[in-house]
Structure 1
Amino acid sequence: MTVANDILEGNPRFGIPRQTVSPGDLVRAVEGTLAEFLSGQTTALDDVDPALGRFARTTRDLVLAGGKRLRPTFAYWGWRGVVGPHEPVEPVLPALSALELMHTFALVHDDVMDDSATRRGGPTAHRIFAAQHSNAGRLGDPDHFGTTSAILVGDLCLVWADQLLARSALSTTTHFAVRSCYDRMRIEAVAGQYLDVLGETEPSAWSVERALLVARHKTASYTVQRPLQFGLALAGTVDIDVAAVDEAYNTYGIAVGEAFQLCDDLLGVFGDPVVTGKPAGDDLRTGKPTALLMLARQLATPAQRAELDPDPAGAVNPADGSGGSISSADLARRTEVIVETGAVAQVEALIRRRVAEGIEALAGAPIHDDARAALTELAVTSTDRPA
């Protein structure tokens, strides 16, 4: 982990003293750890066959293509909150970085399920592989090849996450505790994703409460709640009230994680694609029953609800009632209707309440003050963002 160690050991090229880890320092350390790990993995596959090397390099590029690195950040502060500012971070860097590989797995598979065209300002994995197929003049359907390859990318990232996690310098007891939290996180992410997919097939049976349940499992669990508890597990045996910290992290994680997803719901409709790196309006096109859309339906007049509801075949009803795919004008009208119902204001109020609840949970928790301050700031910045 040469790059990560350079950053965290006070290498004069960076001018960063050891253990004074700002958010930027942590992100660079995680990305350095990932880059070094992925370099070795890519070389190993390239030695088997050049095509596998190209496959691995595409996967590597997807992992390193940016992102907020929130999951390692929450895990870091969950760990730092109990071990304090003087514990060396190098032993746990592989574990923190493994969360980004898990995240890439989730993103790539999610994009396949949603048939999304862009992610982080570039083409999604299945679109990249479809383009490679076409450019090479291969036989068969490029889209099928792209989907198949993207599924394998996600699978590979999940295996790589396991391998990188195993490189952490932990005792056997600590490693088992960390692994238990990690496995629970993965199961909950898959469960939440299934409910998300199911919701699109029966939106009329959905509710605000069920949309929030999906948010809790699909997003809150593996973005905030479990990474914090993952960090706590990484600390091993510590001289604190672990149960009290775990309870505080759990309450904070669910509240801030749900607020994070509610913010995503708003960005999915109102965000600037140039900033978010994803097209706006996809949730409205598919009728995905997000908390925002469910609140809008709940608050809507009968006429407004008719403009928001999908038709029996699953396609969204245009405003003129003609059926078929939704047009840009119809999409704009649906966006207006959501605002008119007051749903946006209610979602913004839900976000504020959950952020306040999360911050309050930390107030009496037996964690170090620098971690409390960092998590308080993260609760605000991760839920009030342009992307």
Structure 2
Amino acid sequence: MSANKIFIFDTTLRDGEQVPGCKLNTKEKIELALQLEHLGVDILEAGFPISSPGDFESVRKIAETIKNATVCGLSRAVQKDIEAAGEALKPAARKRIHTGIGTSDFHIKSKFNSTREEILERAKQCVTWARNYTDDVEFYAEDAGRTDNEYLARVVEAVIAAGATTVNIPDTTGYCLPHQYGEKIAYLRNNVSNIDKAVLSCHCHNDLGLATANSIAGIIAGARQIECTINGLGERAGNTSLEEVVMIIKQHKQLNFYTNIKAEMLNPMSRLVSDTMRMPVQPNKAIVGANAFSHSSGIHQDGFLKDASTYEIINPDEVGAEGSKIVLTARSGRSALAHRFQKLGYQFNRNDIDVLYETFLKVADSKKEVQDADLTEMATQYKPEALLAS
């Protein structure tokens, strides 16, 4: 496998489903899992089997259904959790158990009322238990973002020695700045003696709006897996957005990374997840938002109409979007107005557009957006013979 391949670990069906109101039934989970596999995700986190009989059944059914992607089940560092995950994943062609424990002093003292040494032993033990069910074991050091680096390195070295093949370094609270998260990954790369035996993974939350930036900083520093969700769904402010990291990697070729994601499926996949999980996508969301390829400012519209690359770094077709949109508002200019009249079949010269523009501005000031019907009415009243024969 190329050292430049970035594995995409999708947790839409697990972390994404933890968003209030986004609960999925088994049928919905299977439908989304099949589409995520078709999208090209490498690892599909199907759920948390011990959490409920319904989630156990969903993970088991997905394990039976998915043939190409690795199917993953989450567990705590608890033997019963791991046994449930192992049982649910039994039918999978490729299976992974994702187990772990909090490693920051916030978690060790407040959550577990424990010590660093006790947590280190529990970390090794949970990996040992998980290895009874699969050779593909991922360990997560919860709240690694706020964990002391020297202690984190001790934990990572110990769990790799116990058999972990992937080690997840979560910025669970979204606290890290990109340079801090990158430095943490680099520290582990340079201070864990057996680091070559495992893949480091980025699992970043978006509490400060830095999940995507931190994940990219992580792979630049040496991580080779990104854990993410469609539309950035997830606990609190969400997770790293799959579509964002994929297109950053695709656009910035100087990074020399690649993924197996079919970019042209990103917008259809976003809409499917939004509809199925009943969670609208914010209009200004990067890559998949309704306004991602819309232009309403006159300056932007003029530049875009001359050369799309002046204001678009991604071709909408490349990510399965419906195309660029010129939105007519009071901020729009004459070139956008002329373009829209031409699209409607009207032939106007520059003087005509100057006259029509004054009428357009009056309409635009009274409406949020000027529609084609408004333009047709303006044109008909001004010069109906300007409509070209179809």
Give yes or no for TM over 0.5: no
- Greater strand fraction, Structure 1 or Structure 2: 2
TM-score (normalizing by structure 2): 0.27
State the structure with more CA Rg.
2
* Higher relative contact order (CA closer than 8 Å, sequence separation 6+): 1
TM-score (normalizing by structure 1): 0.27
